[in-house]
Amino acid sequence: MNLSNVNISGRYRGLVISITLFLALISALLVYTFYTSSLLEENTAAIDTSNQIANNAQAVIKDIFDLQNSYGEDINSPHIQTVLQRLEENSEEIDTLLVALKTGSAYVDTKGETVQLPSITDPTTLQALNNTEKEWSMLRPRVKDYLEIADDVRQDTSVRLALVGEQAKTSSLAMNSSLEELTANIFTVAANQARNIRLIQILGVASIFAYFLIFIFFFVRRLRESDAETLEARRETQEIMQTVSTGLFLLDKNLQIGQQHSQALESIIGSDRLAGENLTHVLRGRISDKDLDTTRQFIEQLYNPRVKEKLVNDLNPLHKVMLHTESESGQENRYLDFKFSRVYENKNIARILVNVTDVSDAVRLEQKLEQERAQNDMQIEMLTTILNVNPVVIQDFIKNTKQHIEKINNVLKNPGSSQFELENKLKLIFREMHSLKGESSALKLHSFTKIANAAEDKLQALQNQAKLSGNDFLPLAVDLEELLNLSNTIERLGERINQAAPQVFTSLQENEPTKRSEPTKISEPTKLSKTVAPTKEAVTTANIQQQENAAAETSVITTPVNEPKVIITEHTQDTIETENDGLINIIDSNSLLASNSSKEHDLVEYYQDFAQQIAQRQNKKIQLEISDLDLLNVSSNAVSTAKEVIIQLLRNAIVHGIEVPEVRQAVGKDETGKICLNVNRTDKCLFVIIEDDGAGIDYEKIRQKLIDAGKYDAETAYKLNQKQLLGVLFSSGFTTKSQADEDGGRGVGLDIVKDRIQESKGQLNIKSQLGEMTKFVITLPIES
């Protein structure tokens, strides 16, 4: 830009100088012509003057002779008077003219006009003038002498008249010849001058003409050269613009795209009308309105001289921006990267150069890498889980997962036709999915939980749908497949470990206590501090047995019960490490088997972990106290039911029962909520007792929810007793939580509890005091 500026001003300077010189030449010629023509005029005047003197001299001599001839005539006669007067006037004029001619000055002629005479320098002319003057100077005094007395009648004028006559005779001829010579000389000078003028004028015009031609020649040549340069530059620019693979264009302050842009820009942006268009019009509807707005503000700031160009790259809203494009093959999304650079002109920001590249491939690659990374993370996560969690638990989990998936699959295989069937089907799938989610979340298998959660979202949407059809369930197949793949992966990983330690895994698969060999302690015993109060344990069992009798049906017990407790403190980081060590030792030492106590410990830890995780997500503080966990050595469906019920009730207690610390403090409770889990058994029954010191069941809230949901009108709702309200609490799809998340709020948990207990022909007792506590007592018969 700057370079061409210099060229342009240089070219104009040459042009200006040439024209000035041309004008100066013409002016000089004009001035010279004017000057010489004035000289010519003066010379003409000199010739006229010389002639005038000659005429006057003739008149003077003629008058003198007239006076001589008229001598004796009355002096006062008009004739004499006229002649005398004329003689005097002519003589004086000759004086004046001679002086003017000699000095080259101006005089006023008889007509009153000023006549300018040239100074005579030519020696011959000067000589002729001097001769004339000499002759006149001899005649003039005698004329004067005569005229002094010519008017006086008393004087004798004859002598003086004779003298003047005498002189006039001699001077007449001399003056005539010298004046002729003078005139001829001046004429010659004038003729010379005229010739010179003509010559110089011809030369001047010729040189001006020549100069003009040269000027035109050089100027045109220069113009052609610069045109060629411009053309070449434009051609180069065009070549660059056609060849470059990125989108290049200039942007002015009003976001107007410049007239030239690279050809690639059209395909990158996906529009062939770009030159002169406004960038916001080009991008409108293809990036978000917010991005468009931000882009406008960003470019405005690029024109702000305060802003440092290099320090605003992070704010560029068009960095890797997604562009929606309508193409023949339908909608297509591409990622573009716009880079902006300022173009300066005389230190002012004149334009913005924009460089656009299609970075779709790079972005997609990034996304793919990210996906693969997530996949790897997931596998590591699973591996970590497998290595950290008791293999029996994982084995259970895989078994359960496959069962859940199979159940869902079966449901999907038998498409119901009626709306009622479809709704039931939906509820069933929901329950299975929820159980699956609960179990995976307990094992920290987040990738599992995520898929299950997504599936639940879909189910939730279906639940809110007015009319269901069999096809609505199709998308779930994808989720199921993913879940199945994941569980297969876990299984495979487990098998690999099994290959490394075959005996261990075999033993882990043997869940039957009767087949169990003599338990051997794993190398590192548990570090958990476990305070057992054996004397009170019997009391607990007795209490529960008493309750068993009372709990013939689901009822509400309102009397407070004080339970003896076995407290297990929260596990700490180092216990996890210990567990790792333990597991590695299992694999290393092929002969070792898990003992009952370590298995119970694993289960305790599993519940602790699960509970603390949920608490953390819910921003709550809890302490889970597990007294007995007598779930081992029982060959019964009751155990798997109990495990599932515990998971759901623990979750329920933390999500719905325990309040957030602030609320607990406000009502005067310890900010850490307490949950007690106790599993005992007799020969015939298994008892699961879960108690929390949370908010209790708020029957009014259930009532209000029912009214809000439009299931009952206010009148009917208020007529429902506590038992009926509890029935609602345990029905499918009911929740008091307003927002569903990973931990709850879909109204499925208690529904599962009820179903599982019913399936096992068990019983459920609930005791709750609003603001104080909730206690669930589940009795499950053990089949022999």
Binding site for other proteins (CB under 8 A): 290, 293-294, 297-298, 300-301, 304, 306-308, 310-312, 314-317
CB of 337 vs other proteins, minimal distance in Å = 15
Nearer to other proteins, 304 or 558 (CB): 304
- The DSSP secondary structure of 229-269, one letter per residue, reads HHHHHHHHHHHHHHH-SSEEEEE-TT-BEEEEE-HHHHHHH
CB of 254 vs other proteins, minimal distance in Å = 17
Name the β-bridge partners of 768: 774
Q: How far apart are the first and last CA of the chain?
A: 98
CB of 308 vs other proteins, minimal distance in Å = 4
| Dist. CA 736–CA 705, nearest whole Å | 7
Nearer to other proteins, 336 or 629 (CB): 336
In this structure, which amino acid lies at residue 185? Answer: N
- Give SS3 for 512: coil
- Give SS3 for 773: strand
| Dist. CA 145–CA 198, nearest whole Å | 51
CB of 374 vs other proteins, minimal distance in Å = 22
Nearer to other proteins, 290 or 413 (CB): 290
Nearer to other proteins, 111 or 308 (CB): 308
Q: Are 414 and 461 in contact (CB under 8 A)?
A: no
- Give SS3 for 122: coil
CB of 300 vs other proteins, minimal distance in Å = 7
CB of 311 vs other proteins, minimal distance in Å = 3
CB of 447 vs other proteins, minimal distance in Å = 27
| Dist. CA 116–CA 95, nearest whole Å | 16
With a CB cutoff of 8 Å and minimum separation 6, the contacts of 294 are 317
| Dist. CA 609–CA 652, nearest whole Å | 15
DSSP 569: P
CB of 363 vs other proteins, minimal distance in Å = 18
Helices (H), 512-572: 534-550
**Six token digits for residue 420:** 């009622």
In this structure, which amino acid lies at residue 611? Answer: A
**Which of 318, 321, 323 lies closest to 339 in space, CA to CA?**
318
Number of CB atoms found within 10 A of residue 450's CB: 16
CB of 302 vs other proteins, minimal distance in Å = 9
| Dist. CA 554–CA 775, nearest whole Å | 12
**187: phi then psi, degrees, rounded to nearest 5:** -60, -45
Nearer to other proteins, 293 or 670 (CB): 293
Nearer to other proteins, 310 or 515 (CB): 310
**Six token digits for residue 22:** 């041309």
CB of 345 vs other proteins, minimal distance in Å = 18
Query: In which element (H, E) is residue 482 found?
Result: helix 476-500
| Dist. CA 98–CA 76, nearest whole Å | 31
